[in-house]
Each structure stands twice: as C-alpha cells, then as structure tokens.
Amino acid sequence: MSEIPKAYEPQSVEDKWYDFWLKQGCFTADPARVTDKRPAYSIVIPPPNVTGMLHMGHVLNNTIQDILSRKARMDGKEVLWLPGTDHAGIATQVMVEKQLKKEEKKSRHDLGREEFLQRVWAWKEKHGNIIINQLKKLGCSCDWTRERFTMDPEYSRCVQKVFVELYKKGLIYRGKRMVNWCPVSQTALSDEEVEMKPQKGFMYHFKVQVAEAPDTWLTIATTRPETIPGDTAVAVNPKDPRYAHLIGKHIVRPLPAELPREQKLIPIIGDEHVDFEFGTGVLKVTPAHDKADFEIGQRHKLAIVEVINADGSMNELAGADLKGLDRFKARKVAEEKLAELGALVETKPYENNVGFSQRADVPIEPRLSEQWFLKYPAVPESKTCVAEGRMKFHPDRWAKVYDHWLTNIQDWCISRQLWWGHRIPVWRKRVRLYERNWTDELLRWGWDDYVEQSWANEPEPIVIRVFRCSDGSEVNPKKDALMPVVRETEGEYDIFVCTNDEQKGRDFEKYGFTQDPDVLDTWFSSWLWPFATMGWPENTETLKKFYPTTDLVTGPDIIFFWVARMIMAGYEYMGELPFQNVYFTGIIRDKQGRKMSKTLGNSPDPLVLIAQYGADALRFGTMRSAPLGQDVLFDEKDVELGRNFCNKLWNACRFRQMVGSADSQIQGEIDSSLLTTDDKWILLKLNEAIREITEALNSYNFSVAVQALYRFFWNEYCDWYVEASKAVLGSAERGNRSAEQERRAANTIAVIDFVLSHTLRLFHPFLPFITEELWHGMGYATDMPENQGGKTIMNAPWPKPFDADFCEAYGLDETHLEFASQKYEVVTLGRNLRRIGNIQSGKKVKFVLKPSREIPAHDGEVIKLLLNAEALDFAEDYVAKKGTPTGHTPFGDLYLPLEGLMDVAAERARLTKEKEKIQIEITKVEQKLANPHFTQRAPAEVLRDHEQRLADWKEKLAHVKMALEALGT
RNA sequence: GGGCGCUUAGCUCAGUUGGUUAGAGCGACUCGUUUACACCGAGUAGGUCGGGGGUUCGAAUCCCUCAGCGCCCACCA
C-alpha cells in the first residue's frame, strides 16, 4: 500500500472483494459447523419478484439483512442468509403479456397455455437474474449456493403437498362466493390485494313506483345506477316507520326500460342491515354485484342476476341500452336513461371509498364466482407467540396490528385465473350417476390400483369430493370418507380428486378428468418460504440447524400478505415459529415525504448511485437516515455524505501509512508507560463507542449505531486524536527523531493501529467493501489467525468492551476523560480568541496561559499544536495589557496578546452577552435553592448538584467580569 | 366509524426511568489551501420543544384536552 490514491475509489475495490468472498465461499453456510459454541444464525430474504429491479426499498431492506448477517458472523455464528426470488404470478404474467402484445401483437390465448408458459420461463431465464446481480452489487452476503425460486420443482412439490394436506383436512374448499374480481387482470383477488381509495363520484337519487300502491313512490340512492337491471329487491329497515308497512309489496324497477312492467316487479323486503339514517333509507339490492347485497340476497333467497361480464362490460341482461358498454360508460347511460324516464330525482357529487385492484389500479368488481378458499388452520400458538413475547416485533407496535388481523381473519381466496403459477392439483369430472355405488363406479374406470392400494392405505389417500351441480352443495356423507358412498337417483355431479402425485394426475386425465385450469395465489407459495427453501419436507441438516430463523426483515405493507401467513404455516408444518424477531422497516420516501413511484420519477436508481458514490456510501447514507420503524426520507445528500465518510476513513488510514515506518509493518504492543493523555482518552472513547454500537445493533437501532460510529470516528478520532497525535509524530522529521522520540512515535502508531483495527471491524457490517480493502491494506489481516480475520475481516471478531484487566494494564480510568476534555476546552477557547482577535486561521500567534494547575509538557505541546500557535507561554504572574482577549478554563486563564488588532466593541458585546446569560442561570438556580419546597423535597443528590452549579456559575461570572474590566473603556 | 403513530433549530431527526445551559447531521454565514482528507479544517448564527390546562420542588419527558399531518382496519348504498 505504498502508493495510496488520495481519494477512495470504490468501483474496482468492490468487484475485487465480492469476487474474493464468493470464491472463498465466505457466504456459504455449513450446518456441520453449527455447535453449542458456534450457534446458528439465519435469515431468509423476502424474495424479490423475478420481474423486479432493485429500488431503494430493496436497498434499505437488504442492507439491514446484510448488517445483521455480517455482525452475526463476527460474533462467531454460523450464518445462513438464504436468498431467492418469487415468481410473482400476476406481475410477471402481465409483463410477458405486454411484451407479447407489443412485439408480436398476440395475446396469451393466441399462443395457448403451454406455449405461453414456455415464453414466461424463457423470460425468467433471461431476466430473472437481474435483481440477484444487483443485490450482489450492494454487497449482500447471501449464500448463493442455496438460491431458491418459488417455482423450482422441489419448491413446487412443497406447495402441492401443502395444498393436498389442507384439502384432506377439509380446510380447502370450493365455493361459489362473492370475490374481489379484477376486470383488467380477469382474476379473483384476495381481500388483502384490494386497496380502498376515496373516489369522487356521484350519488344518484331515483324514484320507483310501488306496484300495489301506484300513488306511492320511493326514492332510492345509489352510486351505481348501471346495476339497476341486476336488482332483485329493494330493502328497508323493518323498524323504519316510514317504510315498514310496504314490506311485502313490490316496486317497479325502472331498468331495463324495454322490459314489460310485470317482468320488472321486485319485492320490498325488510332487512336489519339497512341504515335508515343513510341516503333515503331505501336500499336497492343487487345480489350479483355487491358483497353486502349478496348476503341480503342469501337471507331472503333472492334471485341473483348478473349484468356485468368478467371484463367489466355489461351483458344482455342489462338491457339493450347498456349491453356491451363498459361499466363506467354504462353508469352515465343509465343516468341518462333514468332522466328520460323521469325517474331521476337528483344527481349530486359524492365521495366514497372504492376498492381498487392493487395490481391493475382499477376498481374491483364484486363478482360471484367459483373459487378455492382456505380456512386458515387453527393454530393457537400463532395467536399467542407475539403477545407472549416468544416472537418479537420491532417496533413492537406492529404486534397490535397483527393481532387485530388475526382476530378478524377471513377465509383466503387462493385460486387465480392465471397461467403463471402453481397449478391447482385438483381434477374434475362431471358425471350422471344412477343408484350406483361410487366404489363400483371407480372400479369400472379401472382404478383398482388406487382403490386397493392407495385409497385403502394411508398415508397417500386420494380425497374424493362430490358436488351437486344444481346448487354446488357437497353430497359426501362424511368429509373424511375416502370412499364416499352416495346414492342419488339423478342429477349431475362434479367429482373432484386431489393429488400431488403426477402419475395419478395423468391417470385421472385418461379417465376424462381435467385438471383445474387455475393457479394458486403467489402468497400461497410464499408463506412456506422459511422452510420450503431449506429442503422441507425432508428433515434436512439445514432445516435442523437453521430453522427457526433468527430474524426477518420486511416492510409493514406485507405484514398480512406474508408475515402473518408464514407464522401460521410455520406452526402448522414445522410445529414452531418461523423466526424469532421481525424487523419492520419504514417506507422509503423522497425528501418531500412523497412515496417513491415511477410516475413521479422520484425514485433514484440505486445502481446509478452505486456507480456514482460506491455501494458502501449508499448503504451508509441509507442506514444513517433510517430510524427504527419510521419512514425514511431519502435524499441523495445522504449518499454523498456516505461517500465523504468513506473518503475520510480512507484518508485516516492513509495518514497512518504515511507516518508509520516505511515498510508499513504494523506496530507492536502498546507500552502503557508511554501512553499520553490523548492516547488514554481515545482508548476510553473507543470503549464507549464499542458499547454504544453493540447495544444499538442488539436493539436494531441501526441509525443510532451509524451515528455513533460517525461521531466517534470523525469527531473524536480524526478531529481530536489524530490532530493531537501529531504532537508526538511530527515532533521531529521522520528518520531524524531521537531514540526517545522514536519510541514515543512508535507507541502512538501502535495506539492508532489498535484503534483503527477496532474501528474497521465496527464499520464492517455497514461498509463491507472499504473495510475489507483497508483491513488487508493496513496489514491487520496478517496479525490474525486465518479464521479470525486472517483471511477476511468478515470473520474477524466483533470488538468487545475492554475488561477490567485491560483497563488496569493500560491505566485507563474515567479521570483521563476529564483531563483530556479540559485540555480540549483550552483549545476551543484559544480558537475563539483567535476569532476575537481577527487572527486568520493560518497565521501563527503566541498564546499565554496562566496555569491554575500543573500542565505536563506533552499536553502543552498538544495545545500549542492544535491552536496553530507559534508559542504557548506559561506565566504564573502574567499581567495582560488592557484589551487582551482572554478566557477562563479549568487549566487556567488563556490570553492572546496582540497589538491593536482586536475589535474591542465586538469583544465587549460578546462578553456582555455571556455575562447576561450567566446571570440568568444564576438567578434560576438561586430561586430554586431559595424555594423551601425544593430544598425539602428534592433528593440530596439533586440539591448538591444545584449548589455546585451555583458555585460554578459564580466563578464564571467573576472571570467574565474581570475580562470586561480588562477590556478597559 | 374504530385503532395506531407523529408534531423539538430553515430541513431531517436524537433526547433513556421527569433533574446541569435541549443535542447531532445537513443547509446558511465567516475565515482558512498548516503535506491524511476541500469528498477538508476552524468558527458563528439559529429553538418560549404544535396550542391550552393539570400533576410535581422541578415537565420536551407523565396525565387531560384541542389542532394539524400520516398510516392501518371497517359491507354505509
């Protein structure tokens, strides 16, 4: 490291060390190495979408995981950070469909399922690695040998297995239900994928005639007049005196206009759900297109009339006027139609919450459709683990949010009408059966094998379910029956069989069964992530040693999607919690507090930032501004700060190389007899920093840790210690030092090496690249055993606070902190005097100190150097000329004698201001001490403090008064 | 409609169980190229801790209340 560049150049350094780490297998976790003395530490990455590009959210999230992983390695743990990607059903499919449309003007249906899926796989092969490589650029120390993808064959088998098991338990069922339908993606969504947004729209009031009482008209309020043709009742609250008497009568539905009156009669029903304060107190009921209305419909056995198609357009039942129109267009036309009919009473602007498809950003259409649902397994532990502290949330307020969701949990719609994903392992055949025993029927199909072997013998029975097609009801006598015996005389039935055995699936197809075309919700695979990535259901070594994982780092936006479900799956399948701690990051926003988005263009590309400032700088800047659990207002300035910081670190090491011996050998042991007060001070400060940073990391306060590092290194080490050390190092030209000076210089360098080698280790989790470069460049690696930092700083032990023996050996006790800070106080005062005297920073001047205590020669040298003074004279009986700038310090009075350069008026103003400040403080303390309530009730300690304070203030006041007098008139 | 969080210097935030003169970084301003670093150094200015009330010898800190901002949950047509 003889020719060290003046500024740190990250690019080549980063690639060099990342390659080194990979080649040396530094990130690879070995379960065999886990012992009592070497405990396991594990994290599974929240798998980014294969379609993904690294954004600032990833940077925040993965930097935290990397810090945790690297710190754990330095703590001597066997670390597994397990990476991978998520197939992200909708997002990926939509992306490939778009590309197909753009490049070949084809839809996925033009290609067919097989061909389309091949295209998606091809796309995945080509682009799926992008985000992985980006994570590598950031320095993530993931065990890439274990990289997983949620559609890997082994992973898919886990998903199928879980599905089949839940199916067997009866927790997965098929049902015709109201679901959240996205008309753009044309698939069902789970409740979690729906986002409520306030929408400006209109409230339409229209009137309808009561058929049995032609003079009576009811006014109905609605935001969706286009659904009127689907209305099959009008509901009022039975307790509502205005309308209760009309229950049982009918109204004439105005639309579709062309229908004869008798076909438009719908009943007035009474239902408690109707709020008579709201609107007009009369509710139109559209069971096919509204969740609440559907439930009313169920209660009153109303007909369900669908008027909207899957793509959001109106169908023929909506009437000639609306048919074929988009639902929003239809809304306007329906309004016009009502107006034409004279039914429209008024239209007024109205704002309400509308559910939006998170993915496609269009309003959800509540739609009745057949889907697969999961009733979550009842796992009591998942409810109690957080409340009872077995699993910790950071910050812990998320525990309440989690708990609330769990208590209001709804069944999960897990089927998606997509092609990209895990296909549902269920086959169906529609049959007509007459008085036939099911067993006979199946035997007739030649399924003897299954009947004889599989069905009769655990553990791989195939569950058969039979549903009546007319109403969808299940007709198995017992859910658990493997050999359902159903004797029905006629009707159509759907037989469902569920298996994760591919061979059996193919066999079913031979007998006319077809596999369900739908795929599973992506999250139905993600919720298995912590153990499916570790080889489950085999009881692998990895699983044995690394499950449950230690920490999970994720955004609070997926607490329900992912975290909560993983907890349930963890308990259900592993019988144990999936992770011990969950750290919820904040959301990254721009510096104005807006969410980052592509449309706003306020989302910086992390790779551009890395190219510009370096990965360490990006990590440092991000972590510095990310307090625990709060949103992060990102500002490129922070990355710049990170770069500056790396540069400071670089140059501090460069300084060490320049003052050290030419062969840049690291110095030997510290000789405690030669330690200066500055040496002791910085060692004590280092000790403080070690405590503080370790404590902050243990409590996940990353920004606190970074700020402590910043303060320690920049202020305490560079600004004070390094500058002070020049008094020893620069006392003579190098090579021209006396033997004594040489010994002292060598000892100072030994202290510098001690501090730097500790500092680099404290920085390593945050700044992996530059610390590795300097660790080797400074020669600290050669000093360590191979597996303790000799090979890489990654495995160097994390610094521990000094023990009592160490402190005693080096004479480190708190009194040195005070002495050195008093010395630095003299320096600060001296620098102030320079300003008062209008002395330019560069100019050498003479200072005089009237000492109030003995000041060792070394410390006098340091003060002189830090003041950039020509000389620092000690004079017990110094009498200053009038107008000499002066100030009082614990070391005595400091003077800056000069000739007529001082701005006397300015100095008088300064001193007067200070005097006033002191007097205010004295008054405050005196008043307090004069208050008998205070003196009687305050603890003795506090009382003593106040008395001491008063004495200190009075002394200061005396000195300021003297200084003012010395200024003359 | 419920629940949670936030409000401290121009900006972003610290401030432990109440107890010295409420801190830091950035920004602003002044001075400075003294061979580690101008991606730097030295220094200066800037706050009645959102408003009001209470508890206490003592409140940025605890309690009540009001206001503003943000997030989550909820079937008000």
Q: CA A938 → C1' B58, Å? A: 8
Dist. CA A833–CA A848, nearest whole Å? 12
Task: Give residue-wise pLDDT tens across range A634-661.
Answer: 888 889 999 999 999 999 999 998 887 6
Least confident residue range of A471-485, A572-586, A884-898: A471-485
∠ CA A9-A13-A17, nearest 5°, is 165
Is the distance from CB of A284 to CB of A266 less than 8 angstroms? no
Find the nucleotide nearest A841 (Cα to C1′): B32
Task: Answer whether residue A463 shows pLDDT above 90.
Answer: no
Average pLDDT score over residue span A739-764: 90
Q: Which two tokens stand for residue A294?
A: 């559907």
- Round to a whole number and report the distance in Å from the CA of A200 to the C1' of B1: 20
Q: pLDDT for A106-115, tens place per residue?
A: 999 999 999 9
Strand B nucleotides within a 7 Å radius of protein CB atoms: 3-5, 11-14, 19-21, 24-27, 31-44, 56-58, 72-77
Q: What is residue A486's predicted lDDT score, i.e. its pLDDT?
A: 53
For A692 and B59, how far is CA from C1' in angstroms?
27
Residue nearest B2 (alpha carbon to C1'):
A404
Residue A79: its H or E element: strand A78-82
pLDDT digits (tens, 9 = 90+) for A335-345: 999 999 898 88
Q: Give residues 908-947 of chain A lying near strand B (Cβ < 7 A).
A: 917, 921, 924-925, 928, 931, 933-934, 937-939, 942, 945
Structure confidence at residue A373 (pLDDT): 92
Give pLDDT, residue A733: 52
Residue A718 Cβ under 7 A from any strand B atom: yes
Report which of residues A73 and A631 the model is more confident about.
A73
Would you mind telling me the total number of residues written for chain A in this entry? 969
Which 651-680 positions of A have CB less than 7 A from strand B?
Answer: 651-652, 654-655, 658
Q: Write the pLDDT tens digit of every residue in A810-831.
A: 988 877 888 888 888 889 888 8
Does residue A849 contact residue A857 with C-beta atoms inside 8 Å?
no
Only one residue has tokens 């879980």, namely A162
Kind and range of the H or E element at A610? helix A606-613
User: pLDDT class for A892, splitting at 50, 70, 90?
Assistant: confident
Cα A622 to Cα A59: distance, rounded to the nearest angstrom: 8
What's the CA A913/C1' B45 distance, rounded, in angstroms? Answer: 14
Report the C-alpha gap between A312 and A364 in whole angstroms: 9
Confidence of residue A885 (pLDDT cuts 50, 70, 90): confident
Å between CA of A186 and C1' of B14: 50
Spell out a b/e string for A829-839, using b for 16 or more CB atoms within 10 Å of the CB, else e.
Answer: bbeebbebbeb
ipTM: 0.93
Tokens linked to A176: 């015709």
**Residues 733-762 on chain A lying near strand B, CB distance under 7 A:** none
Q: In the structure, how far is the CA atom of residue A59 from the C1' atom of nucleotide B42, in angstroms?
A: 36
For the record, the structure tokens of A623 come out as: 């972590």
Q: In chain A, which residues from 542 to 601 place their CB closer than 7 Å to nucleic acid strand B?
A: 557, 560, 591, 593
Nucleotide nearest to A280 (CA to C1'): B77
Task: Give A646 CA → B24 C1' in Å.
Answer: 19
* C-alpha distance from residue A736 to each of A115, A656, A749, A914 (Å): 81, 18, 17, 47
For chain A, what percent of residues have pLDDT higher than 70? 92
Q: Would the Cβ of A858 be found within 7 angstroms of any atom in strand B?
A: no
Q: For residue A450, what pLDDT is reported?
A: 53
Closest alpha carbon to C1' of B72, residue: A401
Confidence band (pLDDT; 50, 70, 90) for A458? very low
pLDDT-wise least confident of A477-486, A792-801, A846-855, A930-939: A477-486
- CA to C1' distance (Å), from A409 to B17: 38
**Beta strand residue intervals within A833-925, DSSP E:** 845-851, 869-874, 886-889, 892-895
d(CA A496, CA A177): 18
Nucleotide nearest to A729 (CA to C1'): B36
End-to-end CA distance of chain A: 60
Q: Is the CB of A725 under 7 A from strand B?
A: no
Percent helix, strand and coil across chain A, each to the nearest 5: 45, 20, 35
Q: Does the pLDDT value for residue A441 go beyond 70? A: no
CB A562 within 8 A of CB A524: no
* Rounded average pLDDT over A937-963: 84
Confidence of residue A915 (pLDDT cuts 50, 70, 90): confident
A465-496 pLDDT per residue, tens = 777 777 777 776 544 444 455 555 567 778 88
pLDDT digits (tens, 9 = 90+) for A158-202: 999 999 989 888 889 888 888 999 999 899 999 888 988 888 889
pLDDT at A457 over 70: no
What pLDDT does A421 receive? 94
C-beta atoms surrounding A815 within 10 Å: 12
Cβ neighbours for A105, distance < 8 A, ≥ 6 positions apart = none
Phi, then psi, of A179 in degrees rounded to 5: -125, 170
Q: What pLDDT digit, counting tens, does each position of A10-56 carry?
A: 998 999 999 999 999 999 999 999 999 999 999 999 999 998 888 88
Q: Is the pLDDT of residue A454 over 80?
A: no
Is pLDDT at A594 greater than 50 in this prediction?
Answer: yes
User: Is residue A663 predicted with pLDDT exceeding 70?
Assistant: no
Paired sense of beta strands A148-149 and A415-416, if any = unpaired
CA/C1' separation A918–B48 (Å): 19
pLDDT in tens, A351-392: 888 899 888 889 999 998 889 999 988 888 888 888 788 898
**CB-based contact A479:A174 (threshold 8 Å):** no
Scan residues 276-315 of chain A and list those with Cβ within 7 Å of strand B: 276-281, 283-284, 290-292
Average pLDDT of chain A to the nearest whole number: 86
Show the tokens assigned to A724: 């002070």
Residues A316, A306: contact at Cβ < 8 Å?
Answer: no
Question: Within 10 Å of residue A723's Cβ, how many Cβ atoms?
Answer: 16
The pLDDT value recorded for residue A662 is 44
| Mean pLDDT calculated for residue range A834-851 | 79
A952, closest nucleotide (Cα–C1'): B20
Q: Which residue type does A429 have?
A: K
Reply yes or no on whether the pLDDT at A225 is more than 60.
yes
Task: Spell out which residues of A between 405 and 424 contact strand B, using CB within 7 Å.
Answer: 405, 408
Average pLDDT score over residue span A440-461:
54
* Residues A206-220 pLDDT 10s: 999 998 988 989 999
Tell if A726 CB is < 7 Å from nucleic strand B: yes
What is the pLDDT averaged over residues A550-554? Answer: 94
Find the Å distance, CA of residue A835 to C1' of nucleotide B44.
10
Amino acid A396 CA to nucleotide B65 C1' distance, rounded Å = 27
Residues 688-707 of A with CB under 7 A from strand B: 703-704, 707
Contact between residue A676 and residue A823 where contact means Cβ atoms under 8 Å apart:
no
* Distance between the alpha carbon (CA) of A353 and the C1' atom of B2, Å: 16
